[in-house]
Chain A
Amino acid sequence: MASEVIETQEMIIPAFEKHEESGRKLAIICSKGNLDMAYPGLILGNAALGEGVEVHMFFTFWGFEMITKGRMEHLKFVPVGNPATHMPQALMPMPGMTAMATKMMKKSIADLDVPEVPEFLDLITASGGHLWACQMSADMNHVTIDDLYDGVEGIINAGAFIELTEGAQVIFI
């Protein structure tokens, strides 16, 4: 559709190109397997992709829970030893508390229209994010690429990850 003459001098145009020109790059290292520790990385990674930032996520140690088929949809929130729940700590180790706390947290997340882990990874990969699994963790757990979420591009060692994230800002979770 042909547009009319734009009076560019007077038009306020958002600075969309800022990050595109800077070539900004983000490396997010996910090392935890709890539900509540999975989300910070996913949310930041997805937000960065939406801003045109190149994103590489590296899953290591317990972070494998986030990308292992059959486990990634069952992450748990463990309230034991977490004073931020504002619940009596003596009750937290009781049977059923983790399941209840997990259920409540999942509901709060869903109420905000935020996806569960597998769908979140779908969103991140569709947005151009790169997912990598840690070689040492895979060896420790006897896991191969077939056991992992399909969007994981490869199992690589720490050196390879450092190499491909040259110049990136790093977030360790």
Chain B
Amino acid sequence: MPTTTISGREVSVDDEGFMTEYDQWDETLAAALAAAIEIEMTDEHWRVIHFLRDDFKVQGETPTIRRITNTGGFDTKQMFVLFPKKPAKKMAYIAGLPKPHGCV
């Protein structure tokens, strides 16, 4: 597993750059990750990211867009606005979680 330096801090990531240690994450890192993929975080972004983090903690896996919609109560369309083109992967990246591995 490689490590990378984000905001002057050493963090563990996988080959693609997704963080691998849940507890190394904080909002400062998340903002840096978001900036790296050209997303400017708003309150709405943070609400989604925190839902992902909380859900992962309970379920042990990154929620899919469907789960974010049905369980988190977020609007699917809006996810594509907040995290353009590849919402599931982009939000997982910012939340410091692995890519969702379900097909749906």
A14 touches B16 (CB 8 A): yes
A6 touches B104 (CB 8 A): no
For B17, list chain A residues within 8 Å (CB). Answer: 11-14
Interchain CB contact (< 8 A) of B85 among A10, A47, A52: A52
B80 touches A127 (CB 8 A): yes
Distance in angstroms between the alpha carbons of A7 and B65 in the assembled complex: 31
Distance in angstroms between the alpha carbons of A129 and B14 in the assembled complex: 31
- Asked whether A12 and B66 contact (CB < 8 A) given A3-B35, A6-B36, the answer is no
Distance in angstroms between the alpha carbons of A4 and B5 in the assembled complex: 12
- Asked if B58 is at the interface (CB within 8 A of a chain A CB), the reply is no
B76 touches A126 (CB 8 A): yes
Distance in angstroms between the alpha carbons of A114 and B66 in the assembled complex: 9
Interface residues of B (CB under 8 A from A): 2, 4-8, 13, 15-18, 27-28, 31-32, 34-37, 41, 64-67, 69, 75-77, 80, 84-90, 93, 102-104
Report the number of A-B residue pairs with Cβ-Cβ less than 8 Å: 99
Task: Count residues of A near B (Cβ-Cβ below 8 Å).
Answer: 32
Interface pairs A-B: 9 shortest CB-CB: A52-B85, A12-B17, A126-B76, A3-B31, A4-B7, A3-B32, A14-B16, A10-B5, A1-B31
Distance in angstroms between the alpha carbons of A147 and B102 in the assembled complex: 33
A1 touches B86 (CB 8 A): no
Distance in angstroms between the alpha carbons of A46 and B100 in the assembled complex: 14
Distance in angstroms between the alpha carbons of A39 and B101 in the assembled complex: 18
Among A1, A2, A10, A52: residue with most chain B CB under 10 A: A1
Interface residues of A (CB under 8 A from B): 1-8, 10-16, 19-20, 43, 46-47, 50-52, 112-115, 120, 123, 126-128
A selection of 7 A-B contacts at a CB cut-off of 8 Å is A2-B31, A11-B5, A16-B86, A52-B84, A115-B104, A123-B65, A127-B80
Distance in angstroms between the alpha carbons of A13 and B16 in the assembled complex: 7
Distance in angstroms between the alpha carbons of A4 and B17 in the assembled complex: 18
For A115, list chain B residues within 8 Å (CB). Answer: 66, 104
Interchain CB contact (< 8 A) of A50 among B13, B28, B87: B87
Distance in angstroms between the alpha carbons of A97 and B35 in the assembled complex: 56
Distance from A59 Cβ to chain B, minimum over Cβ atoms (Å): 19
Distance in angstroms between the alpha carbons of A115 and B35 in the assembled complex: 34
For A127, list chain B residues within 8 Å (CB). Answer: 65, 76-77, 80
- Asked whether A46 and B104 contact (CB < 8 A) given A2-B31, A3-B28, A113-B66, the answer is yes
Distance in angstroms between the alpha carbons of A10 and B28 in the assembled complex: 17
B104 touches A8 (CB 8 A): no
